[in-house]
């Protein structure tokens, strides 16, 4: 025995010895009340220092795997409860549950609607336009480290104990101020910090979903596929309104509102995903007047509002509403800053936020205090403004390069996208972008087929989304050239 | 104008100037196309350096609030979309929604069941036995800082970009190994990392809740009030089985199982909350045999299993099940380590975890990578074992002090609690602990009335929970003395 002990490089040796002996006890290689080798013997057997063995033996006793008899040594404690059912099962076999039969509709749909699980697996070296995550090469790690150390120095232990469901107070105050600077009237409003946009959206939907019947939601078509997923999972029927060059088709919207009733509207007025369109000021005011007339709560997706490359600042819908409380704004810096920091915020009517706070507490207690405090200190240190300036410059350059390449190599496709980290292409009907994707994949290029952003099966089969944030200039050119070549062969056919 | 500019200490001046001008534009004090003072004038007006003003003006242009005319200066851009609805509303008033009428049952119950919102507000200086959060004075901040810096040095940017819904791979591998060392057979099992126990529990319930009818759950009575809340919010009818000195009443359990069917069982076999009881090995095996016979999935709450003060290691139920897949184990270090790091894990059947992963992705994308990587590196560095040893020693001391004080000053109360961070007291019927609490609050002492841990209204009105982890030795003695004095006056009456 003790011949198969192997040290691994990166962990304290005493702990490795302790765990090695635990395994022998659990496997039954060491029996209850059996005496362990003396610390001297063991250090010889395992070729580790005697102090290491002494520490390991202490650990075993602390964890209740051994007991010591003073002057005699360490003995294996009774391993109680081990595999009681294995032995107990009538035929000695282990207890099996067929979990598939236990899963409800929600769980089954969550898997069916999980795009990550149907995502395109591409070989290394593939040029991928599928991501709209930020380019991590831009991340200013030094400032993030400093933000963490600064905050730890100021608050210390408090950051590691329980926080508040509503969020980290200094961050809430900062973001309220931040939203005021976008023109939002914050009187009568409050904020809930969440683990990103998705949690905020799902919590809001879970509160607004009707108890008795299925919910009814209205949104732009196409729209963010995660939003479509969450709406469906929360039991909403979705009515999509087509997009025009300057945003949602207001006449269609009004027509639908006249004939149907809705529990909520989900809108992305700036750098809409996937079309990248910015809703014009005229339409913003027209849409808001309609929502007011028909009393339909608006969930506004603040999604990379910060990634504006040109034109003047356009106030979000929640600013347009002034003192009105009909808009719930969900913000996040995931696309402009660091997605790994899971922080987003829900800004809305104070009474509403108070209810959402209780739902947040019931679901996750509170958002990571470390993430919130790092983000807060990073903002406070003024790193955010500098970083966004740098990121905007870089992304704008890539945006223009991508646009130029599309105009050169994909003249047949209609382009949209006024900012953000992606462009949206619409081909003449007949070009099926899923078939195009297959052809391109063989040539080592992938993108996101647009149909998955549409509400109804079979819509948008001639569209695709190009995310450029994580593609090199060279690959942007090569990739789009390849897509262009494949597209033309489809157009000929 | 520009007279009311005030500098606040802790933020970059250029940003403060930028935001000050933004406000003037938003308020309409600066009109569209109005020329801003030259950078020289402005630096005089605001008494800040000219370079600061130059930086601020650049920022305003970047954010689309101004435009520059070369050689002439900066001009206010059109503030589009501002308060369109305010002015648009027929009577000019803002759009109001009565959110109360829009909230569904789930939202209303979330508020009603939110104990934090009915929590006892006690004046400063009150001796509070209500918390079972760890004592933050014990936190080894230095090692947490080091863990963060180590991990950042190794992985850098990757930690700040999107992670995986399933969790941070190195942490999953580490925790699988950790559970193996508790005697768990991990073959056929997998793990999902969540933002703590509560998220894991809520996700599991959301998958097992029947679609068509209300669910039926069985659990110890009393039990963890957050678990009761989540079960109710997910639409489960709860059947509670009374506790005995060595755990759940197995005969009652069997009787109930014979006559009713259940979708799941929720059990806390070690350091049960609130009674602190550890289920005996004999009962563990008896309970598991029953659950196997009646095919009832078991959700095991690993709660503070690590806070064992005496006796030998007792394998968790999931270890008892051997290769069986009927137990879902939910673990967390929140009570033994740092609650602020929102990390927990769900260990169970591989196919089940695969489904839960999709639900996790739909709800929060993934758990904070920073939290996960700090915890991983902290474990890897061997800090966990050292810390738990230190924490155990300190909590064990307080545990024994609290116990001794109860025996001295509350002889009438029956004590339970074999470990963990709290003791549970049961008084002769007739002593109403909510009335006792009122009397004690006046004397500057508060605790948690036990009834909130019971399934039915009116149960456990003669019980209370004493959390000692964050109370000083002196206050433990003084506090329990005061409770004793008040209790006796109730007993006389």
User: Are the beta carbons of A157 and B134 separated by less than 8 Å?
Assistant: no
Average pLDDT value for chain B: 92
Residue B472 has a pLDDT of: 97
Note the pLDDT tens digit of each residue in B309-331: 887 788 899 998 989 999 999 99
Question: Residue B102 in contact with residue B421, Cβ under 8 Å?
Answer: no
Residue A28 has a pLDDT of: 86
**Mean pLDDT throughout B359-368?**
96
Note the pLDDT tens digit of each residue in B210-244: 988 999 999 999 999 999 999 999 999 999 999 99
Residue B82 has a pLDDT of: 57
Taking the C-alpha atoms of residue A216 and residue B159, their distance in angstroms, rounded to an integer, is 38
Taking the C-alpha atoms of residue A68 and residue A70, their distance in angstroms, rounded to an integer, is 6
Nearest to A315 among B81, B156, B185 (CB): B81
User: Are the beta carbons of B371 and A371 separated by less than 8 Å?
Assistant: yes
**How close is the nearest chain A Cα to the Cα of B469, in Å?**
13
User: Could you identify the residue written with the tokens 């000019």?
Assistant: B92
User: In chain B, whose CA is at the least distance from the CA of A363?
Assistant: B199
**ipTM computed for the complex:** 0.93
Give me B315's structure tokens. 């394998």
Taking the C-alpha atoms of residue A265 and residue A367, their distance in angstroms, rounded to an integer, is 26
Q: By three-state DSSP, how is residue B218 classified?
A: strand
Candidates A170, A280, A322: best to mutate against B (most CBs of B within 10 A) is A322
pLDDT exceeds 50 at position B270: yes
User: Which residues of chain A lie closer than 8 angstroms to B210, CB-CB?
Assistant: 104
User: Are the beta carbons of B95 and A288 separated by less than 8 Å?
Assistant: yes
Q: Does A116 touch chain B (CB under 8 A)?
A: yes
Question: Residue B60 in contact with residue B21, Cβ under 8 Å?
Answer: yes
Residue B490 has a pLDDT of: 86
- The 10 Å Cβ neighbour count of residue B377 is 25
Q: Does A77 touch chain B (CB under 8 A)?
A: yes
User: Are the beta carbons of B161 and A354 separated by less than 8 Å?
Assistant: no
Q: How many CA atoms lie within 13 A of B193 on its CB side?
A: 28
Q: By three-state DSSP, how is residue B424 classified?
A: strand
What is the reported pTM? 0.93
CB within 8 Å of A181: residues ≥ 6 apart:
B19, B22, B23, B26
Taking the C-alpha atoms of residue A348 and residue A350, their distance in angstroms, rounded to an integer, is 6
User: In chain A, whose CA is at the least distance from the CA of B106?
Assistant: A207
Note the pLDDT tens digit of each residue in A157-206: 999 999 999 999 999 999 999 999 998 999 999 999 999 999 999 999 99
User: Are the beta carbons of A26 and B159 separated by less than 8 Å?
Assistant: no
Q: Do the strands A73-76 and A66-69 form a parallel or antiparallel pair, or are they unpaired? A: antiparallel
Residue B83 has a pLDDT of: 52
**Mean pLDDT throughout A85-96?**
58
Residue A493 has a pLDDT of: 75
Residue B419 has a pLDDT of: 84
Q: How many CA atoms lie within 13 A of B214 on its CB side?
A: 9
Q: B169-180 and A13-27 helices cross at what angle (nearest 10)?
A: 50
Q: Does A325 touch chain B (CB under 8 A)?
A: yes
Residue B88 has a pLDDT of: 45
Q: Does A162 touch chain B (CB under 8 A)?
A: yes
CA-to-CA dists, residue B258 to A362, B159, B241, B244, B294, angstroms: 32, 51, 14, 20, 8
Least confident of A116-130, A401-415, B203-217: A116-130
User: Are the beta carbons of A85 and B368 separated by less than 8 Å?
Assistant: no
User: Are the beta carbons of B355 and A103 separated by less than 8 Å?
Assistant: yes
Residue B345 has a pLDDT of: 98
**How close is the nearest chain A Cα to the Cα of B467, in Å?**
15
Taking the C-alpha atoms of residue B339 and residue A264, their distance in angstroms, rounded to an integer, is 36
How big is the CA angle at B181 (ends B177 and B185), to the nearest 5 degrees?
A: 75
User: Are the beta carbons of B358 and A102 separated by less than 8 Å?
Assistant: no
Taking the C-alpha atoms of residue B60 and residue A396, their distance in angstroms, rounded to an integer, is 18
- CA A328 from centroid of its chain's CA atoms: 19
Residue B335 has a pLDDT of: 83
**Mean pLDDT throughout A332-358?**
94
How big is the CA angle at A205 (ends A199 and A209), to the nearest 5 degrees?
A: 155
* 3-state DSSP of B3-34: CCCCCCCCCCHHHHHHHHHHHHHHHCCCCCCC
User: Which residues of chain A lie closer than 8 angstroms to B12, CB-CB?
Assistant: 381-382, 385
Would you place residue A416 in the very low, low, confident or very high pLDDT band (cuts 50, 70, 90)? Answer: very high
How big is the CA angle at A36 (ends A32 and A38), to the nearest 5 degrees?
A: 160
Candidates A22, A80, A101, A348: best to mutate against B (most CBs of B within 10 A) is A80
- H or E element in which residue B86 lies: helix B84-88
User: Are the beta carbons of B64 and A312 separated by less than 8 Å?
Assistant: yes
CB within 8 Å of B468: residues ≥ 6 apart:
B129, B398, B399, B401, B402, B421, B422, B423, B476
Average pLDDT value for chain A: 92
User: Which residues of chain B lie closer than 8 angstroms to A362, CB-CB?
Assistant: 110, 113-114, 198, 202, 226, 229-230, 233
Would you place residue A89 in the very low, low, confident or very high pLDDT band (cuts 50, 70, 90)? Answer: very low
Note the pLDDT tens digit of each residue in A360-414: 999 999 999 999 999 999 999 999 989 999 999 999 999 999 999 999 999 999 9
Q: Does B117 touch chain A (CB under 8 A)?
A: yes
- The 10 Å Cβ neighbour count of residue B456 is 10
Question: Residue A228 in contact with residue A185, Cβ under 8 Å?
Answer: no
User: Are the beta carbons of B339 and A162 separated by less than 8 Å?
Assistant: yes
Q: Does B92 touch chain A (CB under 8 A)?
A: no
User: Are the beta carbons of A162 and B340 separated by less than 8 Å?
Assistant: yes
pLDDT exceeds 80 at position B207: yes
User: Which residues of chain B lie closer than 8 angstroms to A100, CB-CB?
Assistant: 351
Residue A430 has a pLDDT of: 85
Please choose, from the candidates B392, B188, B242, the residue with its C-alpha nearest in 3D space to the C-alpha of residue B305. Answer: B392
pLDDT exceeds 50 at position A354: yes
User: In chain B, whose CA is at the least distance from the CA of A312?
Assistant: B64
Nearest to A362 among B134, B233, B281 (CB): B233
Would you place residue A62 in the very low, low, confident or very high pLDDT band (cuts 50, 70, 90)? Answer: confident
User: Are the beta carbons of B385 and A102 separated by less than 8 Å?
Assistant: no
In degrees rounded to 5, what are phi and psi of residue A299?
-100, 115
User: Could you identify the residue written with the tokens 């003669």?
Assistant: B462
Note the pLDDT tens digit of each residue in A255-276: 999 999 999 999 999 999 999 9
Taking the C-alpha atoms of residue B175 and residue B185, their distance in angstroms, rounded to an integer, is 13
Residue A88 has a pLDDT of: 45
For the purposes of burial, counting CB atoms within 10 Å of the CB of A429, is it exposed (0-12), middle (13-18) or buried (19 or more)? exposed
Taking the C-alpha atoms of residue B31 and residue B15, their distance in angstroms, rounded to an integer, is 21
Residue A82 has a pLDDT of: 57
* DSSP conformation letters of A166-205: T--HHHHHHHHHHHHTTT---TTEEEEEESSHHHHHHHHH
**Mean pLDDT throughout A114-128?**
86
pLDDT exceeds 60 at position B159: yes
Note the pLDDT tens digit of each residue in B380-432: 999 998 999 999 999 999 999 999 999 999 999 999 998 889 999 999 988 99
* DSSP conformation letters of B438-468: HHHHHTTEE-EEGGGGSSSTTTTTTEEEEE-
Note the pLDDT tens digit of each residue in A135-151: 999 999 999 999 999 99
User: In chain B, whose CA is at the least distance from the CA of A75?
Assistant: B312
Give me B273's structure tokens. 């909350």
Would you place residue B336 in the very low, low, confident or very high pLDDT band (cuts 50, 70, 90)? Answer: confident
Residue B313 has a pLDDT of: 80
């Amino acid at each position: 025995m003790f011949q198969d002990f192997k040290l691994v490089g990166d962990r304290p040796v005493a702990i490795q010895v302790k765990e090695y002996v635990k395994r022998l006890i659990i496997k039954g290689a060491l029996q209850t009340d059996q005496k362990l080798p003396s610390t001297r013997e063991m250090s010889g057997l395992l070729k580790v220092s005697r102090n290491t063995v002494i520490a390991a033996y202490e650990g075993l006793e602390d964890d209740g795997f051994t007991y010591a008899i003073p002057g005699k040594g360490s003995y294996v404690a009774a391993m109680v409860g081990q595999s009681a059912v294995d032995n107990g099962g009538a035929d000695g076999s282990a207890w099996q549950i067929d979990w598939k039969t236990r899963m409800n509709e929600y769980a089954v749909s969550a898997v069916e609607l999980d795009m990550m699980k149907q995502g395109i697996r591409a070989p290394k070296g593939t040029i991928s336009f599928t991501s709209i995550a930020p380019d991590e090469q831009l991340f200013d790690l030094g400032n993030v480290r400093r933000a963490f150390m600064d905050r730890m120095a100021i608050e210390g232990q408090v950051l590691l104990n329980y926080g508040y469901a509503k969020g980290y107070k200094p961050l809430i105050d900062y973001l309220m101020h931040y939203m005021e600077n976008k023109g939002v009237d914050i009187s009568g409003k409050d904020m809930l910090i969440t683990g990103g946009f998705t949690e905020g959206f799902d919590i809001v939907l879970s509160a607004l979903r009707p108890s008795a019947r299925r919910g009814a939601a209205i949104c732009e078509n196409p729209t963010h596929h995660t939003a479509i997923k969450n709406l469906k999972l929360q039991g909403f029927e979705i009515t999509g309104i087509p997009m025009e060059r300057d945003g949602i088709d207001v006449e269609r919207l009004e027509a639908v509102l006249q004939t149907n009733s809705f529990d909520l509207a989900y809108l992305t007025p700036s750098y809409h995903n996937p079309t990248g369109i910015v809703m014009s000021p005229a339409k913003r005011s027209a849409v808001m007047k309609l929502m007011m007339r028909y009393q339909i709560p608006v969930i506004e997706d603040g999604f990379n509002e910060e990634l504006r490359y040109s034109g003047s600042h356009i106030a979000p819908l929640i600013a347009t509403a002034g003192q009105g409380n009909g808009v719930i704004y969900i913000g996040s810096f995931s696309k402009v800053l660091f997605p790994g920091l899971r922080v987003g915020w829900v800004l809305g009517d104070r009474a509403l936020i108070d209810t959402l706070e209780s739902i947040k507490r019931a679901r996750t207690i509170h958002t990571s205090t470390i993430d919130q405090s790092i983000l807060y200190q990073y903002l406070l240190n003024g790193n955010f403004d500098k970083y966004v300036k740098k990121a905007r410059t870089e992304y704008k350059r890539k945006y223009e390069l991508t646009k130029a390449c599309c105009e050169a190599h994909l003249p047949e496709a209609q382009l949209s996208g006024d900012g953000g980290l992606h462009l949206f292409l619409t081909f003449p009907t007949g070009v099926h972008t899923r078939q195009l994707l297959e052809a391109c994949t063989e040539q080592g290029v992938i993108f996101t087929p647009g149909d998955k952003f549409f509400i109804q099966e079979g819509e948008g089969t001639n569209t695709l989304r190009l995310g450029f944030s994580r593609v090199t200039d060279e690959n942007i050119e090569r990739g789009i050239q390849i897509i262009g070549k494949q597209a033309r062969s489809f157009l000929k056919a």
